Every structure is written in C-alpha cells, then in structure tokens.
Amino acid sequence: MSTDLHVHQALARALKDHGVDTLFGLMGDANLFMADSFVRECGGQFIPAAYEGSSVLMALAYARSSGKVGVATVTHGPALTNCLTALVEGVRGKVPMVLLAGDTPVNQPRHLQSIDQREVVKASDAGFVQLREPATTCMDVARAFYRAQVERRPIVLNMPADFMWESVAYESRVMSVFTDPGGVAQGDILDEAVGMIASARRPLILAGAGAVSARDQLIALADRLQAPLATTLKAKGLFNDHPYNMDIFGTLSTPAAYDAMAKSDCIVCFGSGLHDFTSDRGKLMKDKRVVQVDINATAIGGGLHPDVALVADAGLTAETILYWLNEAEIPASGFTDELDTKTLTLHPIGPSNTAEGCVNFVHALERLDAALPADRILATDGGRFMTEVWCRIRVPDPRSFIVTVDFGSIGLGLQEAIGASVAAPTRPVVLFTGDGGFMMGGINEFNTAVRMGLNLLVIVANDSAYGAEHIQFLDRQMDPSLSEFQWPSFADTAIALGGHAAEVTSMAELDTALETLLPQTGPRLIELKLDPRDVPRMRI
C-alpha cells in the first residue's frame, strides 16, 4: 500500500527502510527538511558537522567501524565541492557510503550556487545517481544504496531542491545485494599455486584488508605450512597473539621481521593490492614466488605482477589450498623454527636527543601504548608522525583501526575519529594527529565531539612545523623557517571549545596528564610539545 508523502519525507523514510539510524551532515536549502523528517518522523540520529567534507569523513569511518553503509548529506554547490577530498578518500579506500547531496532548483539554471554536480563527482571517481523526478524517489535511493554496496565506493544521490515539497506515492523499495563470497579457486591455475606453495622452503602468509574475514582460515594454513603471518597496514591487528605474527609487512616492519621477509622464498598474499609501501617498492618481492589471491580481479597486478593469481575468496581459497596440501601429504616448511618470536614485533626505541621543554616522541608513544585502554579504537591522521604511531600503538583488530591514508591528505583524522566513536559509543577512541593536520581539519570538529559528548582522546604531536617539508629543507642544508609555525596552544583551545586538555613538555608531565585525563568523560586532548629536529623520519 502506498502513502502520499512529500519528497523530503520520502527520502527520510527510504533511509529508515535501508536500516539507516545515523545521518551525518550539514544542513542547507536543499536538505534541511529531509534531515528534520529523518529525526522527527523516523527517529533517526543526525550528527551536525561544522564543515561539509567532515560529514563525509565521519560517514566513511562509521562504515569502516560498523560494517554498515555510511550516510551523509550536504546541500548544493560549494557544499558539494567542499566534499571532494573526502570523496576521493572514500573511493580509494573502497568504502561503501551514500552522500545525499542537494542540487539547485531545476528551473533556476542561473542560480548563484549552480554547477554541474555530476562533473564534480566524476572528478572524484565516486558514483553518481540522479534523483530523476519526484515519482522515482524511492527507486533512486534504492539504486544508490545498491551501488554503494556492490561497487564499494561512495555514491552521490543528487537531489534538486525544488523537488522537496512535491507529493509522491511512497512505496518502500530496497534492493537485495548478493554478497556471498562465491569465487572458489579451481583448475590448472590452482594446481600451479598449490605446487608453488608446496615447494617453498620459507613461505609467508600476508593478509590485507580484503582478507580480514578469513583470519581463522589463514591461521590454519600458516600453521600447517609452519609459515609466519603478516598484514598490510589496514589489516593491522588481524593476527594479534599468534606466536608467529610479524605485524605489518613492508616499510613499517621491525628489523627482525624485515629480515625474515627478505629470507622468504614465497609470499602468499590474500586481499592485498601489494602497493609500493607493502613491497618496499618491490625489494621485498625480489627473487620470490608471489601468489596473489583476491576476490576483485582489478586488485591483482596493480602494484606488482604475481607469479600466480587466483581471483577468488580469501577464506575459501585458504581452505582449498590446505585441503590439497593435506591430500598430497606435503611436509611443513619448518620456517617458523628459524624465527625468534621475541624480536618479530619489537621496534627499537633508540636514544633521546630532544631539546629542553620537549618530549621525545618515540618514548611518549611507548608510554601511551601501555597506558591507553586496551579496548581502544585507534584513529590516525596523515603526516610525518603517523608511521611511528602505526608501528608502536597496538589495536585489538583491524576494524578498530581507522587510518586516513588513502589519498595522502592530512587534516582528515578527527572527523573520522568522530564517525568511529558514533559507530561504537561504548568504546574509547584515541586519535593521533599532527599540529598541521589538527589546524587544518581538527579544531572545527573538536567542538562537534564536545557537543556530542564523545569518549574521545586526541593526541596532538606538535613540533610547530610542517614536518615532512621541514626535513626536506634540512636535508638540502636550507633554512627550514618557512615550514615552521607558531600555532596557538592546542590545549588551551581544546578547553575553550569545551573539552579537557593538558600540554606535555616532559615524560613526567605525560604521566600526570594521563592520570588526570583518562578517567575524565567527553573529549580530551594531550598536546605533545616536540622538537622538530628530533622526530623520527617517515618509514615510507
């Protein structure tokens, strides 16, 4: 049975029918009535951001943490262009989300904020669905959600403002999404892969973000082969507590793990695109057999060309390989017997040459890792400081790790930390960000976290500089002053915005700050004062 509704009500009702209970956004002419209907008539939660791109980033992290489709909404023109970087981040990260973007009225082609919104979205490589007419509202919403899940990228639903008060006959439309893994490896190519693995003397299992659901099957295969386990950055934490877990593979590895990786003669990769940082620009794959398994054919051969590739589901393929190894009674490799488990995940700390009034970053990270809640969700911004964070701060599992590296941008971390916190409100979220990134995209949304009362701890690594550029100036014996900034006190700013905060210039002050702030509720901030000449170089 159909019910007559206004288009803005139909849009809100369609979101509810798709299981959406949280909507991130910033209201304007074209979406304010939809947002109001979503909250007042559909019982939804609306998270108002301070900047349009922030709402998209929040929805991306919400999707990563919850496993649901993230949903955001903005109005037209500059509101959409303000989302461009965030959309690219979502496209590169293969995150399913829907952005309901308003558009200027169809009958006002000279509207001040009118642009060709389809072309803007195309530039980001996100998908685009046009709300064609009021009568197609429910079908167009369903099409956007279907495409987001199947294509695993942001889809923009373009909504003309002059449609919102038109009446439509509402009829629920939700499209079934077929996501069974399918893809079972078979045939000659499987035989070749099994033979390659069976003949390896030092095999190694590598899991990427595309294989996080296959943890048990990969461990079973690794144990059968006596092969160590490693992950890409985005799958960090997948093999926690396994005795032969090597943690992150590539430029972020420990010295002992990197040495073992170099000795390996066969890398069996599941759900990893094998980009330059994972392979250390091909060095770690040199003179090795590479077997690559991915359900997505376009992910294979993008970084380097494997010896054998199986377009198949990670878990099913691991089970299949294990079956044939057992059938052929292939002996275990014994590679794990050569490894010193105490050093596999041990990153060297090194001495401190920090100037007076500053804290050593590595020493601070070691202290923070031990003190922070064990069930934390870790979020990180981009930039110079983050590689040490990725190496030294542990996470419970990959879904508890939000890393904003897909587009190489800084200034995205706090927004995604908010999205993760909304997705998991009972868990503490810890964000690490640099001073430049926090100034760019953090301060405006810290107040959003305050308004929402989120359980969020922000660690700002403040060397009063754009660190990566600072290093380049120093490397060329040039004056680095153009990269140096006298920022305001981030601790004082956080307090002014309604949070709790402390500035840290020594390890003793860090201990005091943790003792004081960790028991507090709501958003908190610790500002680590760092010496720009004593910060570890990026490991990429």
pTM score of the predicted model? 0.92
Query: Residue 380: in which H helix or E strand, if any?
Result: strand 377-380
According to CATH, where is 3.40.50.970 located in the chain? 3-170, 361-529
Distance CA 103, CA 131 (A): 10
Residue 53: is it exposed, middle or buried by C-beta count within 10 angstroms (0-12/13-18/19+)?
buried
In degrees and rounded to multiples of 5, residue 297 shows phi and psi of -60, -30
Residue 431 pLDDT class (50, 70, 90 cuts): very high
Nearest Cα to 101, choosing from 59, 40, 43?
59
According to CATH, where is 3.40.50.1220 located in the chain? 188-338
Tokens 């008539």 map to which residue? 41
Strand residue runs (E) in 62-110: 70-74, 97-103
User: Do 311 and 294 contact (CB within 8 A), yes or no?
Assistant: yes
User: Structure tokens of 392?
Assistant: 């030294």
User: Structure tokens of 430?
Assistant: 């810890």
Distance CA 202, CA 5 (A): 65
Distance CA 375, CA 429 (A): 9
User: Do 101 and 128 contact (CB within 8 A), yes or no?
Assistant: no
DSSP 313-336: -HHHHHHHHHHHHHHTTPPP--GG
Mean pLDDT, rounded, for 490-515: 96
Given a cut of 70, whether residue 538 has pLDDT beyond it is no
Distance CA 423, CA 402 (A): 12
Could you read off the pLDDT of 32-41 as tens digits, one per residue?
999 999 999 9
Distance CA 415, CA 437 (A): 11
Distance CA 23, CA 339 (A): 49
Could you read off the pLDDT of 252-287 as tens digits, one per residue?
889 999 999 999 999 999 999 887 788 888 888 888
Distance CA 339, CA 245 (A): 11
Query: Residue 55: in which H helix or E strand, if any?
Result: helix 52-66
Mean pLDDT, rounded, for 107-129: 91
User: Structure tokens of 244?
Assistant: 């032969």
Could you read off the pLDDT of 167-204 as tens digits, one per residue?
999 989 998 887 656 677 778 889 999 999 999 999 99
Q: What is the pLDDT of residue 179?
A: 60
Options 3.30.930.10, 3.40.50.300, 3.40.50.1220, 3.90.1150.10; which CATH number does 188-338 get? 3.40.50.1220
End-to-end CA distance of the chain: 58
Residue 156: is it exposed, middle or buried by C-beta count within 10 angstroms (0-12/13-18/19+)?
buried
Could you read off the pLDDT of 410-426 as tens digits, one per residue?
999 999 999 999 999 99
For the structural domain made of 3-170, what CATH number should be given?
3.40.50.970
For the structural domain made of 361-529, what CATH number should be given?
3.40.50.970
Angle between helices 413-423 and 443-452 (to 10 degrees): 20
Report CA-CA distances (Å) from 7 to 4, 12, 43, 311: 9, 9, 18, 43
